[in-house]
Structure 1
């Protein structure tokens, strides 16, 4: 019974319109225009020929009088065939997902006028806009399980083939204007190859290769043949694709007749365009345009990050009528004020680094790191090479031009989970440059801070730092204006806190885990919250070496010998030491240690005396 009602309703709608007619529309503001009779007749004839070739009769054979131009008449410029498959599509939209389809119809008001205009520029049927309706429901942020993106659901390869930019900063598949131009080019190419809009639509969904092979394999010449008689070859999605396009067009042209009453169409998309400098903050741009950040992002859905791309000027869409206000305010901004405060930072490659390790350290996907560094070859990294990394959303970092270049292993950029204290009265943010011999604990104590806070502010998993690193500190105003206290106690007591481990404590205090275990008579690495650990600091005192000579050694018996006769410094190897660990401790490369001590490899023995300076 339902099937008969649908057929009767569709035939009635088409009988009032004339299915093999065409329609030429401008934007919503301009209303409908009736094309010349000759043009109507030409398009009608072309559609009739295609329907005849498909073996499908025209549903409505009555043609309007030559001088008839009824503004209320529904017209189509794609072939309209009514069969069981199309009826199923209508039933789906009308009875099974009516709420979702209503939302799609209402959203279509924002995009259809622009999309029709673009299709018209390429000489294509304007009713192809309904492909975008069944592809994404006109959702610019739509993402499928096949990694197709945007209103026209391009996969990356096809999008790039038709000129869409897809990288870490921008994904133009989400741009409704640019993606519509790409879709128009693609559909035009498909029609030129297959000579049928049904086959072109099927190829848009399944790929031209699939349809090309199907026609050749089954010696077919139309969509319905390969769809009905060779059901196993095409996926259900593709077999239903063309019928649903037809069903969507029929309902969208006469929604009230199918129960979609009182639709609240979104207003047509309108915007101005402005040119902005590289790395312009979207927050700043939104304020200049007088809108919320979410509104600006809705106009520029292709922008994937917090700012425009850092290389090259960018054309930004802003609300219609806001251009003068924007340009006036933008011209007054200094470069540092318009740049994103959460910009990128730079790190230097160290021996043993790989892009994968750097990406993991900075909590990034490897693909994003590669996109940020297009000129970097992953298999040929050089020690000292600069790598651009992202600090993550909400992180505190330096703009690229001012970014301190630090070791990727020694200091990670702040991640999204970083906790940065808000500005408080009586406190001040400073950047402290680490000096030789500094430890995180010493720096924190000098400013009356907790070293855990210093580590968290700077996005570090451990307290491992080296000379030259820059640390962000939030210190009392009096401490910020005075020199840091340099006096260091010869020994101190550290109380273990929740989340501490022996290695982190050792790194924070600039000592080894073996030292802490020896000083506190520990057999293992187990710690309990509240344990009190004794930590010693170096205090030079003279001792005798095995050959009777006097040298200077540290009071903590760490094994470091600092010659009073010159700059030479030696270290006595202890149990558990490795060459790489000693090199990190004394801020010297392993290769230099090998050279200073005439070592051929990394093998060292307990009791060996190594030159470390």
Structure 2
């Protein structure tokens, strides 16, 4: 989804460097033009598969020069295509868009391009946040296949609404709608092929690559390329993580291979999750789930740390489903979210509390004349920290750029007596009774507020905010009161 990428990470750059060596289609091409035209026409559905010499060149490129890449894509189709097809259908989008991720990322959910685009659908950090993909030093939802695919579908639908043309929408996914509009003004063209000469070279190649990959996934076998080792999703269950956890220790004590855990949870970018983690849904192999549940206390004691005497940082079974043992566990998403209508405490009521220090995520929008040094002084942090939090290699920043700032703040939390009962389902009623005493924080929606901007302001996951307020869609109105529970 950025202009200097062809196919995933190091693979992208390798392919990009070879593009100038693509051979011109001669009088007698290896694959007959007539055959390609006929097959393109058979495959074409909602998105045009226009025959062009560039499309022809890429078909032969994927057959003869990059047969290993083509084979790899065939092998990974069973792993991701069911998800892609389901999500595309949900959004009413053409099923053939599933081939786009092959061009974007090589179906590698953790790939990052040198322009910092990441994940299966290669979202730039800012665009990812715009579409609700949370990112910090430990979690990057651009790498989470389900959420990234959902975001990509929404973005593709938005681009198609802008241009009303799928070839232009695909090109704008690569280079941005602004560049496409400028090319249209310069060339006075209205289709991809009439603005072709005004586009950046890599964007000119983007749509032909998509056409070629669509062809290869349907006719690759006819050219002697087959999936030798197809990949499938690892059967998995989920647990909720709250607070610090050492994932290496977790794996060592639960018998789970760390590489397998990483594959199931590509959005985790470190070997730990920090103290501030709240209700992170972590996938674990189903074959280990029964053992994990049976030995939960011992396993979690070995890899977590407690901030309060009795321990408020818990990891328990998923509350939204029946687990492998056939039991349905309860888990308080937050103390507020687990209550029913009418059970929220009055603003004047308070429970016994303890003060702890936690890290809060803030956002700073760069103003004219600001530098990393001036921003670091303003927020009392170091330049090195600013670079680390925002993955900046250099000190150059631009006006309007959003920077993440992690601040240590003091927070009043419920005492152990109020929270400890959440561990034992047998005393769930006592837990709800204690939860009613908690003082709630609210945000009154202002004109221009969105759920995403509010979640960023308070350092909350978007899903957390929506669940706490029982919001299914994304619509909010000025004057509406939202529960803020971090």
TM-score tier (shorter): 0.5 to 0.7
Which residue among 185, 190, 202 is the counterpart of 1:237?
202
Structure 1 Cα separation of the partners of residues 239 and 175 of structure 2: 38
Q: Which residue of 2 aligns with 1:19?
A: 43
Q: Which residue of 1 aligns with 2:407?
A: 375
Q: Which residue of 2 aligns with 1:7?
A: 33
| Residues 1:357 and 1:119: Cα distance change in structure 2 (over 3 Å) | closer
Given that 2:253 and 2:299 are in contact with CA atoms closer than 8 Å, whether structure 1 keeps it comes out as no
**How far has the Cα of 1:346 moved from its partner?**
9.6
Given that 1:141 and 1:150 are in contact with CA atoms closer than 8 Å, whether structure 2 keeps it comes out as yes
Given that 1:118 and 1:181 are in contact with CA atoms closer than 8 Å, whether structure 2 keeps it comes out as yes
Structure 1 Cα separation of the partners of residues 166 and 391 of structure 2: 38
Structure 1: which 5+ residue stretches go unaligned? 22-46, 48-77, 377-384, 387-613
Q: How do residues 206-605 of structure 1 correspond to structure 2 at under 5 angstroms?
A: 206-227=175-196, 231=197, 233-268=198-233, 270-287=235-252, 290-311=255-276, 312-330=278-296, 332-333=297-298, 336-339=301-304, 355-356=381-382, 359=385, 365=388, 367=390, 374-375=406-407
- SS of the counterpart of 2:283? strand
Structure 1 Cα separation of the partners of residues 404 and 295 of structure 2: 30
Structure 2 Cα separation of the partners of residues 324 and 259 of structure 1: 44
**How far has the Cα of 1:92 moved from its partner?**
1.5
Structure 1 Cα separation of the partners of residues 224 and 170 of structure 2: 27
Given that 2:133 and 2:148 are in contact with CA atoms closer than 8 Å, whether structure 1 keeps it comes out as yes
Count of residues in correspondence between the two structures: 311
Given that 2:246 and 2:272 are in contact with CA atoms closer than 8 Å, whether structure 1 keeps it comes out as yes
**How far has the Cα of 1:262 moved from its partner?**
5.0
Q: How do residues 196-215 of structure 1 correspond to structure 2 at under 5 angstroms?
A: 196-215=165-184
Q: Which residue of 2 aligns with 1:177?
A: 146
Measured against aligned partners, the alpha-carbon deviations of 1:212-253 in whole angstroms (never above 9, x if no partner) come to 2322443322111101xxx2x321111110111011011111
Given that 2:70 and 2:225 are in contact with CA atoms closer than 8 Å, whether structure 1 keeps it comes out as no
**How far has the Cα of 1:153 moved from its partner?**
0.8
- SS of the counterpart of 1:315? strand
**How far has the Cα of 1:203 moved from its partner?**
0.6
Normalised to the residue count of structure 1, the TM-score between the two structures is: 0.46
Measured against aligned partners, the alpha-carbon deviations of 1:465-517 in whole angstroms (never above 9, x if no partner) come to xxxxxxxxxxxxxxxxxxxxxxxxxxxxxxxxxxxxxxxxxxxxxxxxxxxxx
Q: How do residues 75-154 of structure 1 correspond to structure 2 at under 5 angstroms?
A: 78-154=47-123
Structure 1 Cα separation of the partners of residues 206 and 236 of structure 2: 33
Structure 1 Cα separation of the partners of residues 64 and 299 of structure 2: 57
| Residues 1:323 and 1:100: Cα distance change in structure 2 (over 3 Å) | same
- SS of the counterpart of 1:333? helix
Normalised to the residue count of structure 2, the TM-score between the two structures is: 0.57
**How far has the Cα of 1:317 moved from its partner?**
1.2
Structure that is richer in helix per residue: 2
Runs of 4+ in 1 over 6 A off after TM superposition: 368-372
| Residues 1:368 and 1:12: Cα distance change in structure 2 (over 3 Å) | closer
Structure 2: which 5+ residue stretches go unaligned? 1-26, 307-356, 360-376, 393-401, 411-486
- SS of the counterpart of 1:3? coil
| Residues 1:267 and 1:314: Cα distance change in structure 2 (over 3 Å) | same
Measured against aligned partners, the alpha-carbon deviations of 1:325-356 in whole angstroms (never above 9, x if no partner) come to 323322x2386433169xxx999xxx9x9632
Structure 2 Cα separation of the partners of residues 269 and 242 of structure 1: 33
- SS of the counterpart of 2:194? helix
